[in-house]
């Protein structure tokens, strides 16, 4: 009798199915992982966006009247009980500083933590949040579409910027906007509303960090190397970096909206969610343009966001 009990076959599926306790532990682990990754993402994202906004503000507010030799302008500021004097060189100081801070890790950390968050929230269980209800796609197919779109989006964007359109920034901006709207519409047909919104934001975030990694940082390294070798820098590199930096600046507010949109089902849950996203993104770009140009003599720039 005892031998019979010891040799009894296990219940079918008992080894493959986690117990209720294991499921509870896994659920808690995923929740804490979600919280931790999301918190890191917000911290490094704030650092990146804050630095971006600060340098755009600094560039727009430089005092360019009668700068001393070798300078483009300067600015005096007070903050936190201290007075600061900042100067921008036309090219570089006579002697390069020993410690030169490079603003890059904020961007890289934001993208890496953002992709990690996509994996935790959407890709770990794609049928729960990623795919639209009743979708004929498998979870793996949805993940492949999501990840593939990030890199396809970057290559299309980079191709357009390197084409003759790069010399016509207004037309290039319009085409990029229409392509992102088309991406939002396409995603809304295969993904859930949340998944569609977050992947449009992920494409834009990938473009932004790609600009830093592939264009802006190489241009800055080439500039520093040319100065160290006492030769004239290639003027096309800073110009290309400036265009990409401007794109990053205008992408920021739409991406910030997408980051908080999952708290507002009336946006991503609407039948016309892609159109709502397009309208809010356009509004965000106009608001950003107002802040970029309000220092100029455009008396009616404030009417753009209104």
Residue 27 belongs to some domain of the structure: no
Question: Which structural domain range is residue 211 located in?
Answer: 103-303
Q: What is the mean pLDDT of each run of 10 residues along the chain (306 residues)?
A: 45 57 85 94 95 89 89 93 91 84 94 96 92 91 96 96 92 96 96 96 97 93 86 77 90 95 94 96 92 68 60
Q: How far is CA 207 from CA 177, 180, 192, 200, 213, in A?
A: 13, 12, 23, 11, 10
Residue 239 belongs to some domain of the structure: yes
Give me the number of domains the chain comprises.
1
Residue 261 belongs to some domain of the structure: yes
Residue 83 belongs to some domain of the structure: no
Q: For position 306, what pLDDT does the model report?
A: 61
pTM: 0.86
pLDDT, one tens digit per residue, over 192-222 is 999 999 999 999 999 999 999 999 999 889 8
The strand ranges marked E within the chain are: 71-79, 82-89
Residue 110 belongs to some domain of the structure: yes
Q: For position 117, what pLDDT does the model report?
A: 95
Q: For position 66, what pLDDT does the model report?
A: 86
Residue 29 belongs to some domain of the structure: no
Residue 136 belongs to some domain of the structure: yes
Q: For position 2, what pLDDT does the model report?
A: 45
- Contact between 200 and 274 under an 8 Å Cβ cutoff? The reply is no
Placement of tokens 């509303």 in the chain? 193
């Amino acid at each position: 009798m005892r031998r019979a009990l010891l040799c009894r076959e296990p219940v079918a599926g008992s080894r493959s199915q986690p117990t209720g306790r294991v499921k509870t532990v896994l659920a808690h682990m995923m929740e804490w992982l979600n919280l931790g990754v999301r918190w890191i993402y917000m911290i490094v994202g704030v650092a990146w966006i804050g630095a971006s906004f600060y340098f755009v503000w600094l560039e727009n507010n430089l005092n360019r009247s009668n700068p001393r030799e070798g300078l483009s302008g300067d600015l005096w500021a007070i903050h936190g009980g201290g007075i600061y004097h900042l100067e921008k060189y036309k090219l570089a100081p006579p002697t390069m500083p020993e410690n030169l801070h490079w603003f890059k890790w904020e961007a890289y950390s934001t993208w890496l933590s953002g992709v990690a968050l996509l994996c935790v929230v959407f890709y770990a269980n794609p049928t729960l949040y990623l795919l639209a209800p009743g979708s004929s796609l498998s979870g793996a197919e949805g993940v492949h579409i999501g990840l593939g779109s990030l890199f396809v989006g970057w290559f299309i964007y980079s191709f357009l910027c390197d084409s003759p359109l790069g010399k016509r920034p207004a037309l290039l901006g319009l085409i990029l906007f229409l392509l992102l709207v088309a991406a939002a519409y396409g995603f809304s047909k295969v993904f859930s509303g949340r998944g569609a919104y977050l992947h449009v934001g992920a494409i834009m975030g990938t473009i932004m960090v790609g600009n830093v990694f592939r264009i802006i940082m190489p241009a800055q390294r080439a500039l520093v190397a040319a100065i160290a070798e006492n030769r004239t820098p290639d003027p096309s590199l800073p110009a290309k970096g400036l265009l990409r930096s401007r794109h990053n600046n205008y992408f920021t507010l739409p991406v910030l909206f997408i980051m908080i949109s999952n708290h507002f089902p009336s946006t991503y849950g609407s039948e016309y969610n892609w159109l709502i996203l397009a309208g809010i993104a356009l509004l965000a770009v106009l608001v950003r343009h107002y802040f970029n140009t309000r220092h100029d003599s455009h008396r009616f720039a404030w009417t753009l966001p209104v």
